[in-house]
Chain A
């Protein structure tokens, strides 16, 4: 039986874990012997057949930033992003697939072939980004059997390795994204209450604040720019990351700045750093406030705060959490590894549910008591035209049918009505987002529903949305009078961006590439 694996495809680092013979997850080190792999890619200039992924890519980055890619996760699902290398326009999914390919390759050489995997994504990722992540996995030759939210994966690992019960807040501040999840744990039974995330908040943003301090200090001394080229920027981004890590251990960090106008030494204190990242920290505070409100609880109702992600090492973050909750947050698990470890458990649970015969008895026994109830990550609705009570005019509005944080599996229905006499078709849209204003929600699908002719207005249309445990959504539009039904079914993120055929074709193209 092939190994079941979980992958944390992170903004700055990625990791892979497999389930061992008794269903316990274990990190598989990469070819360099490291337990986590930098999510960096470098297209070798000398040998264009070779693509470097990981620490070698980080080290080569400063030599030629144009051939280097980092933080690609921030562009996942962005259909306008392209990285141009030697006449090829690389999409975020293709680039991410190179990182996954490296993980698969390295783990495969240590164990048997890795095929069935669950990949983790930030809880706030929308359907399009989730689909893009799955596509990246398929392009890397993986059989992506599921997607799990990063904080859920962390909580799964935490709950299965610690004797814990009560309400837990998972605080996941990674390299590029920030998620908070509230869940109830009772032994190995985990019920997700709600999740919230900030897509552009993580270690990279803290690093950028330090780069700004470098630039400001240099300009004050020499009245000149420190950073003049992409190479300079790449260099000082790496220096900034180093300063940030130092400031997690010491009160002051020192660096030499070499610019065209001269060189200087800069000293950055922890206070300087905390002041610079103040607004970013405020964002983390707000997200915690928002999730507590969404979970309908107060800080005092939380029994444990679990830290996940490398950026939680910043002392001020731990200090603020302690101040807010009245107790120190828990670093009971390795903040860099727990997501991939939890993803491996999730992969085991998925296999057990869908293909129990393909799971070894040891793994099945190890996971038998683990129970997970997840929730809908977003609200889903449709576009309708109610009358505004104040103006008396019809207004185009997004009406939510399936609320965010509804426990899975779930099904909700609402009745809408045709608008005009003789209406023979209805444009049905499936939306994702919490806003009433249709400009601010994403349309996942739009179809035309044919209706019988010659009827007056106000004929009822029943709309039913359901979401199963496999994260497949089913939408049904039923014309009550005629019994005619339009069914729209799609997998997570299936917005028609890439068909299965296209993904397979891309996978075949990428198969021959050498990833080191």
Chain B
């Protein structure tokens, strides 16, 4: 199953990146005839890896050999294309460019092309290695992190027609310290799977989830399917997330619980900041669909927010917006109002004043839902102030 998914992901990436004919011709496939100039000076290419004074790694691409052009004063470009051939020359994977200047016209695949100028005579002999490109490693994105085999193909091509006159390749080993794009896609998909698991765990925390909660999860999955541009990609995401939804629901039905700690840690590792916020928002939305918020839901939500390194005040603002105002649990009320155990009575008073000021400003909203929510919040704040500040409660 995992292999199928992996292959699908790679197919998807290829499709998404627009594997054009232009990119295709860059690779020296087994059995393909190399375009070489006849005679003794075979056209060749070599690559060296150097570190610049600032520590930036650069690939120095050099060529030498004989080039024969169709005519004198022939106008030429120099082009360098890269492919990751770690998995074999018959399974090359694109190397992407991170700077738009060095990308192909219709895809993010790396393409270095510069105008060389006119060559005076039909035959050109380059007897010494001549540098034709200096490529910064941080302008490149490889498929995966770690030790890679990178193929460099240098070509001389017609400036007018882009017809290739001559090309040569060189392969070098490279230790890629950056996360690869396939790694990222896999991580993203894995993170989405984990998000679905977490969402189901929030919905099912009391051994039951309602239809509205499941609809929120399904809608989230649909949005991710729709966001994928290719049909193959849509199928992959649908199978992946639909499967996660089913498997997690089955897990919970068999009275086993989702390991929130490991799921949260894995998500924190794999997700970008914005995706972490999106994940916690999904969970809050689901919890908000329930009749009332349960103790376990609060625990899961708060712990997940901690694991995902969500800013405490932002999390509370999201919770105030998406969760019901009351739960009957004192710790939930304190959380919603931003009251912590270490606060003095004066701190609590100030915190409640701030909350009162905020919700009092919202109560005149033209939106009746917000008006009702503000009315409820004001009543809750007043009750807590009356109970905990006017007559200090146990931990006050």
The residues of A with any CB-CB pair to B shorter than 8 Å are 80, 124, 126, 128-129, 196, 198-200, 278-283, 285-287, 289-290, 293, 390-393, 433-435, 437, 439-442
Contact = CB atoms under 8 A, between A and B. Distances in A.
Interface in B281-338: 311, 314, 317, 321
Contacts of A392: 273-274
Nearest to A281: B386
Contacts of B370: 439-440
Interface in B328-376: 349, 352-353, 356-358, 360-368, 370, 375
A286 B364 contact: no
Contact of B364 (A80, A124, A281, A293): A124
Contacts of B352: 286
Contacts of B321: 437, 439
A180 to B, nearest CB: 11
B390 A126 contact: no
Given A126-B364, A435-B362, A391 B273 contact: yes
Interface residues of B, number: 33
Given A391-B274, A392-B273, A199 B364 contact: yes
Contact of A391 (B277, B356, B389): B277
Contacts of B379: 279
B361 A282 contact: no
A419 B150 CA distance: 39
Contact of A283 (B349, B362, B382): B382
Nearest to B366: A442
A280 B367 CA distance: 24
A78 to B, nearest CB: 9
10 contacts: A80-B368, A279-B383, A282-B389, A286-B352, A290-B353, A290-B357, A391-B277, A392-B273, A393-B274, A433-B362
B67 interface: no
Contacts of B381: 283, 286
Contacts of A437: 317, 321
A48 B364 CA distance: 35
Given A128-B366, A200-B375, A293-B353, A285 B385 contact: yes
B386 A279 contact: yes
Nearest to A285: B385
A279 B352 CA distance: 13
A258 to B, nearest CB: 31
Nearest to B368: A80
A194 B108 CA distance: 57
B80 interface: no
A439 B365 CA distance: 9
A124 B363 CA distance: 11
B74 to A, nearest CB: 38
A290 B365 contact: no
B356 A283 contact: yes
Contacts of A440: 361-362, 365, 370
A198 B356 CA distance: 10
A390 B273 CA distance: 7
A101 B34 CA distance: 98
Nearest to B310: A390
A282 B385 contact: yes
A290 B274 contact: no
A280 B356 CA distance: 12
Contacts of B368: 80
Contacts of B314: 390
B378 interface: yes
A92 to B, nearest CB: 14
Contacts of A393: 274
B211 to A, nearest CB: 26
The 7 A-B residue pairs with the shortest CB-CB distance in the complex, in nearest-first order: A279-B382, A282-B385, A391-B274, A282-B386, A286-B356, A278-B386, A279-B386
A441 B362 CA distance: 7
Contacts of B362: 433, 435, 440
B361 A433 contact: yes
A496 to B, nearest CB: 13
B334 to A, nearest CB: 16
Interface string B12-27: 0000000000000000
A198 B277 CA distance: 34
A289 B353 contact: yes
Contact of A286 (B274, B367, B382): B382
A359 to B, nearest CB: 35
A199 B349 CA distance: 21
B382 A282 contact: yes
B390 A278 contact: yes
Nearest to A293: B353
A139 to B, nearest CB: 22
Contacts of A289: 349, 353
Nearest to B273: A391
Q: Counting chain A CB atoms within 10 Å of each CB, which of B314, B364, B365, B390 scores highest?
A: B364
A435 B358 contact: yes
Nearest to A294: B357
Contacts of A285: 385, 390
Nearest to B362: A440
B357 A442 contact: no
A369 B258 CA distance: 75
Contacts of A281: 386
A392 B379 CA distance: 36
B311 to A, nearest CB: 7
Contacts of A433: 361-362, 365
Contacts of A390: 273, 311, 314
A434 B383 CA distance: 24
Nearest to B360: A198
Contacts of A293: 353
A440 B361 CA distance: 8
Given A124-B364, A282-B389, 11 more contacts: A80-B368, A196-B357, A283-B385, A286-B353, A286-B381, A290-B353, A290-B357, A391-B277, A393-B274, A433-B362, A439-B370
A449 to B, nearest CB: 23
A446 to B, nearest CB: 13
A390 B314 CA distance: 11
A286 B365 contact: no
Contacts of A278: 386, 390
A169 to B, nearest CB: 16
Nearest to B367: A439
Interface in B146-194: none
Given A283-B356, A391-B273, A439-B370, A199 B385 contact: no
Contacts of B385: 279, 282-283, 285-286
Contacts of B389: 282
Contacts of B317: 437
Contacts of A280: 382
A209 to B, nearest CB: 12
A282 B365 CA distance: 23
A160 B385 CA distance: 38
A239 B357 CA distance: 33
